[in-house]
């Protein structure tokens, strides 16, 4: 993955920028959408940080999500989730450090963002959906909401690929099997993190999960939904019938 990936063509009000990362010792690219009235209003705006899917970059999802960010009155940052780590979990932590400790302060220092928790949000697609969900659940005092589009959680279920490509009608059976095996107790498991922060999540975090029934990751998301239900954690779970791994169709 490259550090800087400007788009060939940008949607209206979207601009490509860079910031310096001490973690990677390199300039890193990002795209920023500023609402049409931003320059003249003088107001502070909510801000959404969006993390792309695997093999993507800061420019790959600015067009598929155009109707979403143009439909709300908020600044939107498209992150480049670049990492020098090879393992998924170490990469997850390194990207977390870049976003939390470097990118967010950079954006807050240069744009009129509303820095309250309620008005700082995360979203992501596929790998980025997993990352967005993980960071939001971990940093409950920093983010007020998260939208995970077709998140890929099996990397953090710590059981290989057992949940990938499973038929929708088998999801409940697999979830019950997971609970009997106490997968949720394993170190670095996303379910363990959800359980540990359940009380904070219930009172502070708005959760939205979007998934298509034809997506190879449907079971990943169904298990997360069932687990949140088991802990009485409120969330919106939107299922799109017959849709596969397509961000534009589930957003």
Within a domain: 119: yes
Note down the domain range covering 174.
14-250
**Looking at the domain assignment, is residue 160 inside a domain?**
yes
The DSSP bridge pattern shows strands 14-21 and 26-33 to be antiparallel
Q: Is residue 9 part of a domain?
A: no
- Beta-ladder partners of 69: none
For 127, phi then psi, to 5°, come to -55, -40
- Residue 23, class by beta-carbon neighbours within 10 Å (0-12 exposed, 13-18 middle, 19+ buried)? middle
| Closest to 220 (Cα-Cα) out of 164, 159, 149 | 164
Q: What is the pLDDT of residue 208?
A: 98
Residue 76 has pLDDT above 90, yes or no: yes
Query: In this structure, what CATH number is given to the domain that contains residue 180?
Result: 3.40.50.1820
SS3 content of the chain, % helix, strand, coil (to 5): 40, 20, 40
Nearest CA among 141, 143, 119, 117 for reference residue 131: 143
Task: Give percent of the chain above pLDDT 90.
Answer: 85
Domain-embedded: residue 88? yes
- Inter-CA distances, 137 with 140, 181, 187, Å: 6, 23, 15
Average pLDDT over residues 180-189: 80
Answer with the residue of higher pLDDT: 39 or 159: 39
87 part of a folded domain = yes
Name the domain count of the chain: 1
Is the torsion defined by CA of 230, 151, 249, 164 positive or negative? negative
Query: Does position 112 have pLDDT exceeding 90, yes or no?
Result: yes
Contact 77, 106 (CB under 8 A): no
Tens-digit pLDDT profile for residues 52-73:
999 999 999 999 999 999 999 9
Please state, in angstroms and rounded to a whole number, the distance separating the CA atoms of residues 217 and 208: 16
Is the residue at 7 inside a domain? no
Q: Taking the chain, what is the end-to-end CA distance rounded to the nearest angstrom?
A: 25
Predicted confidence (pLDDT) at residue 8 exceeds the cutoff of 80 = yes
Task: Kindly report the backbone phi and psi dihedral angles of residue 110, in degrees, each rounded to the nearest multiple of 5, phi listed first.
Answer: -115, -15
pLDDT average, residue stretch 77-101: 95
Residue 1 counted as domain residue:
no
Span 231-243, pLDDT tens digits: 999 999 999 999 9
∠ CA 230-231-232, nearest 5°, is: 95
Query: What is the average pLDDT value for the chain, to the nearest integer?
Result: 95
pLDDT tens by residue, 127-183: 999 999 999 999 999 999 999 999 999 988 877 778 999 888 889 999 998 888 887
Query: Is the residue at 187 inside a domain?
Result: yes
The answer to whether 205 and 148 have CB atoms below 8 angstroms apart is no
Handedness of CA 220, 217, 152, 70 (dihedral sign): negative
What tokens does 164 get? 């990938």
Region 14-31 average pLDDT: 98
């Amino acid at each position: 993955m490259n550090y800087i990936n400007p788009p060939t063509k940008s949607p209206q009000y979207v601009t490509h920028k860079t910031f310096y990362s001490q973690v990677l010792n390199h300039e890193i690219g990002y795209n920023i959408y500023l609402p049409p009235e931003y320059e003249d209003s003088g107001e502070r705006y909510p801000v959404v940080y969006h993390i792309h899917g695997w093999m993507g970059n800061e420019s790959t999802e600015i067009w598929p999500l155009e109707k979403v960010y143009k439909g709300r009155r908020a600044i939107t940052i498209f992150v480049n989730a670049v990492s020098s780590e090879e393992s998924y979990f170490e990469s997850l932590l390194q990207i977390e450090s870049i976003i939390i400790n470097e990118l967010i302060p950079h954006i807050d220092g240069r744009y009129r963002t509303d820095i309250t928790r309620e008005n700082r949000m995360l979203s992501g697609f596929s790998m980025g959906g997993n990352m967005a969900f993980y960071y939001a659940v971990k940093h409950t005092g920093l983010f007020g909401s998260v939208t995970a589009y077709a998140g890929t959680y099996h990397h953090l279920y710590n059981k290989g690929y057992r949940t990938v490509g499973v038929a929708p009608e088998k999801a409940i059976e697999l979830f019950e099997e997971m609970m009997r095996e106490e997968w949720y107790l394993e170190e670095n498991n996303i379910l363990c993190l959800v359980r540990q922060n359940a009380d904070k999540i219930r009172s502070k975090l708005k959760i939205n999960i979007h998934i298509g029934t034809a997506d190879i990751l449907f079971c990943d998301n169904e298990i997360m939904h069932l687990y949140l239900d088991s802990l009485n954690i409120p969330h919106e779970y939107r299922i799109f019938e017959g849709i596969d791994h397509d961000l534009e169709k589930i957003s």
